[in-house]
Structure 1
Amino acid sequence: MHALEKEKLPRLSLGEGRNMVTQLIVVNLTIFVFLYFTLVIYKMEGVGEPRFHQDIMSWLRLPADPSLLLVRPWTLITSLFTQISVWPLFTNMVWLWCFGSIMQQLAGHQRILPLYLFGGICSNLIYVAGMRLMPTFHTLAGHEYFLGAAGSVMAIAIGATTVAPRYRIFPLLGGGIPLWMITLLFVGLSTGTLMTSSTYGHTYLPLLAGGAFAGWLYMYQWKKGHDWGAGFNRVLFKLTHVFHPTSQQVNPDDFRKKTATDLEQPPFRRIGKVPEQRLNEILDKINENGLSSLSPDERETLLRASKPE
């Protein structure tokens, strides 16, 4: 288990610049409002909803036909932020907030966007491959499609569980509920919802499986010290800070989550009157088992660390 980040992030704050979960939710909601408003205009003008799907949605959603995907490769990404139905959007955003907030606290905010995109793209590719390769799905590939963040949210959920499966929420309820139990509930609800969403809902199972595998693989490699999103984060930082003063262009690696290879630091560095290594061990224990798991000695140590010198 890795040491916790020194700077804690709020659960959900619209004013927190480093809360990537909030920013993703805002982007998804903004796109939804824009698309829904456009749909209303199409209906008011008498053009009709089928024309709306033909003119706009067909260019954003993921086609199940590989030949059509080759013509519209950008749909691998645009489909992750495209949703026109209220209930699927609501459930995806609630679960994204739930698992994304935990992921931010466990691994840092810079894991969220790379994992969201990596998990979503992998789940989309596996969905298209499944529709093409499985005989029972092949005949449906010509007119089926997918849109929404289900694959990305699944990747974040499995990724967070990979990092700390015994992490507990609601610690006041009998010691808390383990994260792996919440994840099982989420997987069951997501599978059932997608399978009943349409006549061919079973075709979405490869998509969920792809997102789950991508989330596990990404965070498993991260725990081993391989941050696959580091290059993406550096490029994104430079693009978003291109017009900022040089004094504000701090290296984003300064804020990254420490990995196992980074923990080879002198064990005698202290925070106040408590060795930093000892404090990290206590914080890790709280993350996995809750505050109630601390012994009286550990509680006293944590109290001493919180006092100024």
Structure 2
Amino acid sequence: MNPYNSTNIFDSARIFFNRRSVLPQLILINAGVFILVYLSNLIFWLFQLKTENGLSFLTHWLAVPSSFSSLILKPWTVITYMFLHEGFFHLFFNMLILYFGGSIFLQYLNEKQLLKTYILGGLSGAVFYILSFNFFPVFFDSNPFAIALGASASVLAIMIAIATYVPQYTVHLFLIGPIRLKYLALIFIIIDIFSIQGGNPGGHIAHLGGAFWGFLYIYLLKGGTDLFSFPDFFIRKSKMRASYKNQNFRKDDFGRPITDDEYNQRKNAEQKVIDSILDKISKKGYESLSSKEKEILFKNSNHKR
């Protein structure tokens, strides 16, 4: 799926990362942190420099610890851990799912809500992880030196959020075929639940924390409650302009003043078109749209930002 409708994958990537929007910037930040940590680890490895528990310097100070005594000394780690990855494939698959889920998310919701879901989903994952390692006896022995890192909780929060918002949305996966988002989300959750007894229990518990937030946020949003106002860290802000002319009139596409009734009629007509496109997506998937319908949907998503 290519929401930017480019001619090939390279042009698509160039256009995507040239856009000043939340989704590409989140991916670039994760990639940038990965490169920074890798170079730091390389230097420390060359000089055989290690920190406590054999961790590299940046990992020690950016990964979130499960121990309350360590967390008090590094409270920022509940944020930094969600941009930190331990290997290339860890980063690659998280960013692939972030792009996939985030692109669908932005077809229906706005950039501020995407950023909110990413950050607060990561925080929810950290809370689940920390509380579990301090509550369940099975983790008591490893609690003093356990850490968590990765964007998985944030990414899963976005996937579960959009699956909760449009559960009937159909995606086409390689080797699998068409599958509705609600079933894909359920597969993710089942995998994490059955993987807790494996080699990375803290990570899978954090994933479930992110999933919990994604579901809760959309459940409340559908009920009319958009939790927490969030600053526009990565969102383009238009320059403020003062105007004292024609304040009682709106203008059409040609600059002519129109009344509020005319404006509302046009908006209602536009919304009907958008609703019909979204209904088509929920029944047949994004790829069933014509080029014109994709263009209308893309322009509408930009207007929400």
Residues 62 and 75 of structure 1 are in contact (CA less than 8 Å); yes or no, is this contact kept in structure 2?
yes
Structure 2 residue matching 1:169: 3-state secondary structure: strand
Distance of aligned partners of 1:135 and 1:52 in 2 relative to their CA distance in 1, 3 Å threshold: closer
Residues 195 and 202 of structure 1 are in contact (CA less than 8 Å); yes or no, is this contact kept in structure 2?
yes
Which AA in structure 1 matches 2:68?
P
Distance of aligned partners of 1:24 and 1:191 in 2 relative to their CA distance in 1, 3 Å threshold: farther
**1:221 lines up with 2:220 in the alignment:** yes
Distance 2:157 2:63 in 1: 19
Structure 2 residue matching 1:139: 3-state secondary structure: coil
Residues 154 and 215 of structure 1 are in contact (CA less than 8 Å); yes or no, is this contact kept in structure 2?
yes
**1:286 lines up with 2:280 in the alignment:** yes
Aligned positions of 1:18-97 closer than 5 A:
18=21, 20-47=22-49, 53=55, 55-97=57-99
Structure 1 residues 86-143: Cα deviation after superposition (integer angstroms, max 9, x where no partner): 2211111111111111111121222111111101001101110111011222222111
Structure 2 residue matching 1:177: 3-state secondary structure: strand
Structure 1 residue matching 2:40: 3-state secondary structure: helix
Distance 1:279 1:136 in 2: 55
Shift of 1:220: 1.6
Distance of aligned partners of 1:31 and 1:175 in 2 relative to their CA distance in 1, 3 Å threshold: closer
Structure 1 residue matching 2:19: 3-state secondary structure: coil
TM-score of the aligned structures, taking structure 1 as reference length: 0.72
Task: Name the residue aligned to 1:181.
Answer: 183
Structure 2 residue matching 1:56: 3-state secondary structure: helix
Which AA in structure 2 matches 1:110?
K
Unmatched segments (≥5 aa) in structure 1 = 1-7, 249-264
Structure 2 residue matching 1:232: 3-state secondary structure: coil
TM-score of the aligned structures, taking structure 2 as reference length: 0.73
Which AA in structure 1 matches 2:18?
G
Task: Name the residue aligned to 1:14.
Answer: 17
Aligned positions of 1:28-177 closer than 5 A:
28-47=30-49, 53=55, 55-170=57-172, 176-177=178-179
Residues 41 and 57 of structure 2 are in contact (CA less than 8 Å); yes or no, is this contact kept in structure 1?
no
Distance 2:271 2:93 in 1: 39
Structure 2 residue matching 1:142: 3-state secondary structure: coil
Residues 66 and 147 of structure 2 are in contact (CA less than 8 Å); yes or no, is this contact kept in structure 1?
yes
Task: Name the residue aligned to 2:245.
Answer: none
Residues 99 and 160 of structure 1 are in contact (CA less than 8 Å); yes or no, is this contact kept in structure 2?
yes
Identity %: 26
Task: Name the residue aligned to 1:269.
Answer: 265
Structure 2 residue matching 1:166: 3-state secondary structure: coil
Of 79-88 and 122-131, the range deviating more from structure 2: 79-88
Distance of aligned partners of 1:96 and 1:190 in 2 relative to their CA distance in 1, 3 Å threshold: farther
Distance 1:194 1:104 in 2: 31
Shift of 1:23: 0.9
Unmatched segments (≥5 aa) in structure 2 = 6-11, 243-260, 298-305
Structure 2 residue matching 1:122: 3-state secondary structure: helix
Residues 62 and 76 of structure 1 are in contact (CA less than 8 Å); yes or no, is this contact kept in structure 2?
yes
Distance 1:174 1:152 in 2: 25
Structure 1 residue matching 2:225: 3-state secondary structure: coil
**1:204 lines up with 2:206 in the alignment:** no
Distance of aligned partners of 1:95 and 1:191 in 2 relative to their CA distance in 1, 3 Å threshold: farther
